[in-house]
């Protein structure tokens, strides 16, 4: 039997190259390797824990779904769905809420950070984020959960919950491992001391100037790269230059990498040339992606149908786990 992996995706809108190299690409590779049963879902219920606008939420969800599908998530190979369409997530989440102490939830780093950021709007969902996440995971009884390093504490809580549950109610859940993504930090083009993100750049720069979005057209990629910060008075590579080289490692040819590294050592490098090469390579790399994404977004009904089919597939497994849980904890079931 194949081992199962589960991972959730934040529904925060269009994805950038940092998201792609850090997560999306890994999911597609795992799916294509074919040795795992893959469950990937968009965590739209988790998106409600921080301030949101209804129109943006649905549009962002569609965008992220299109990004994943265009990048190669194949609904025939992986189970791809929306969290909010498999109600078992919420039901098991509630049960887990009742098995988790308030102290444990209050100690979570993400809760502490986010409640500082959103001081006026701390809601119950922010506190119980990890129990919903534990339900997301354990419903599918996976052996591993691919996440970024900011999520390891949540996976630990999931393991603790699984262990506690098994001890008290009988063996039910595996204790899934964290499958850490390669730590990879693509930095902002406009502020290379910060991680690439759609927001959070230099506030004087236009929004998103530091991030290359996956569907940016070639001229936009070139424009953003041309503006990328490289200046420094240090002899070493500046953070901005190091970031360009990191991108070149992923998108350049062997010859290009060699050529620019040598020029860098000899101090003959022209950053404008490096940037143009990179822009060309990146635009090329995502050419098919852009076409596919445009096609997908022209037909949102098709995306929605794909998600509904995925949810039905997920629900088959989720409902089995949930009824096992209900029985074990003593909820009376229909005869
Ligand atoms: N919390 C995860 C993140 O912010 C998203 C997520 C929700 C998730 N549920 C999950 C990840 C279950 C892995 C498994 O990235």
127 within some domain: yes
162 within some domain: yes
d(CA 42, CA 104): 25
Query: Pick the catalytic residue: 141, 198, 275, 293?
Result: 198
290 within some domain: no
**DSSP one-letter code for 267:** T
**DSSP one-letter code for 70:** H
Is the beta carbon of 247 within 6 A of some atom in ligand 1? no
pLDDT of residue 170: 98
Is the beta carbon of 315 within 6 A of some atom in ligand 1? no
Report how many domains make up the chain: 1
Residue nearest to atom 3 of ligand 1 (CA): 10
171 within some domain: yes
Residue nearest to atom 7 of ligand 1 (CA): 8
201 within some domain: no
pLDDT of residue 11: 79
For residue 149, how far is its CA from the centre of ligand 1 (angstroms)? 11
pLDDT of residue 201: 46
Has 216 been labeled as part of a binding site? no
Is the beta carbon of 133 within 6 A of some atom in ligand 1? yes
Catalytic status, residue 316: no
- Helix runs in 71-206, H state only: 88-97, 102-106, 109-117, 124-127, 129-138, 152-169
For residue 170, how far is its CA from the centre of ligand 1 (angstroms)? 26
SS3 label, residue 196: coil
Catalytic status, residue 195: yes
> Residues 93, 132: contact at Cβ < 8 Å?
yes
Is the beta carbon of 82 within 6 A of some atom in ligand 1? no
pLDDT of residue 195: 86
**Which structure tokens are listed for 321?**
């786990």
Q: What is the CATH number of the domain that holds 10?
A: 3.40.50.620
- 223 CB contacts (<8 Å, ≥6 apart)? none
Catalytic status, residue 116: no
Residue 42's domain comprises 3-184+299-329
Q: Comparing C-alpha atoms, which of 322, 287, 306 is closest to residue 42?
A: 306
pLDDT digits over 202-246, tens only? 455 556 788 999 999 999 999 999 999 987 655 567 899 999 999
For residue 9, how far is its CA from the centre of ligand 1 (angstroms)? 6
pLDDT of residue 204: 53
For residue 264, how far is its CA from the centre of ligand 1 (angstroms)? 40
Is the beta carbon of 134 within 6 A of some atom in ligand 1? no
274 within some domain: no
User: Which of 9, 19, 22, 43 maximizes ligand 1 atoms within 8 Å of its Cβ, making it the mutation to test the pocket?
Assistant: 43
pLDDT of residue 23: 86
User: Which of 19, 82, 136, 178 maximizes ligand 1 atoms within 8 Å of its Cβ, making it the mutation to test the pocket?
Assistant: 136
45 within some domain: yes
Is the beta carbon of 43 within 6 A of some atom in ligand 1? yes
pLDDT digits over 143-171, tens only? 999 998 889 999 999 999 999 999 999 99
Spell out where the chain has E strands.
3-9, 36-42, 79-82, 144-147, 177-180
pLDDT of residue 31: 96
> Residues 83, 95: contact at Cβ < 8 Å?
no
Alpha-carbon distances of 16 from 27, 129, 212, 223, 232, rounded to whole Å: 15, 25, 5, 15, 26
- 10-residue mean pLDDT series, the chain (335 residues): 92 86 91 95 95 94 96 97 98 98 95 87 94 98 92 96 98 94 82 80 62 95 94 70 94 96 93 96 96 97 98 98 97 87
Residue nearest to atom 14 of ligand 1 (CA): 7
195 within some domain: no
pLDDT of residue 318: 98
SS (H, E, C) 309-326: HHHHHHHHHHHHHHHHHH
> Residues 269, 277: contact at Cβ < 8 Å?
no
SS3 label, residue 37: strand
């Amino acid at each position: 039997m194949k081992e199962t992996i589960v991972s959730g995706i934040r529904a925060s809108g269009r994805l950038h190259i940092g998201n792609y190299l850090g997560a999306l690409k890994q999911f597609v590779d795992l799916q294509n390797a074919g040795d795992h049963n893959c469950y990937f879902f968009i965590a739209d219920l988790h998106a409600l824990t921080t301030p949101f606008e209804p129109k943006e939420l649905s549009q962002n969800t569609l965008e992220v779904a299109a990004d994943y599908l265009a990048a190669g998530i194949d609904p025939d190979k992986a189970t791809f769905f929306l969290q909010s369409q498999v109600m078992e997530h919420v039901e098991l989440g509630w049960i887990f809420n009742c098995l988790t102490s308030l102290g444990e939830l209050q100690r979570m780093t993400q809760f502490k950070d986010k409640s500082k950021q959103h001081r006026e709007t701390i809601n119950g969902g922010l506190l119980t984020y990890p129990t919903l996440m534990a339900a997301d995971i354990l419903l599918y009884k996976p052996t591993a959960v691919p996440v970024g390093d900011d999520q390891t504490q949540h996976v630990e809580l999931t393991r603790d919950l699984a262990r506690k549950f098994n001890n008290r109610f009988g063996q039910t859940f595996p204790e899934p491992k964290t499958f850490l993504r390669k730590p990879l930090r693509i930095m902002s083009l406009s502020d290379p001391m910060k991680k690439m993100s759609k927001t959070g750049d230099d506030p004087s720069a236009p929004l998103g100037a530091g991030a290359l979005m996956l569907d940016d057209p070639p001229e936009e990629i070139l424009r953003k790269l041309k503006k990328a910060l490289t200046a420094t008075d240090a002899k070493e590579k500046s953070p901005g230059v190091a970031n360009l080289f990191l991108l070149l490692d992923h998108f350049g040819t062997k010859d290009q990498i060699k050529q620019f590294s040598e020029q860098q050592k000899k101090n003959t490098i022209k950053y404008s040339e490096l940037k143009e090469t990179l822009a060309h390579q990146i635009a090329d790399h995502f050419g098919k992606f852009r076409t596919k994404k445009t096609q997908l977004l022209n037909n949102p009904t098709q995306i929605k149908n794909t998600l509904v089919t995925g949810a039905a597939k997920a629900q088959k497994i989720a409902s089995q786990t949930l009824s096992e849980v209900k029985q074990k904890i003593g909820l009376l079931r229909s005869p």
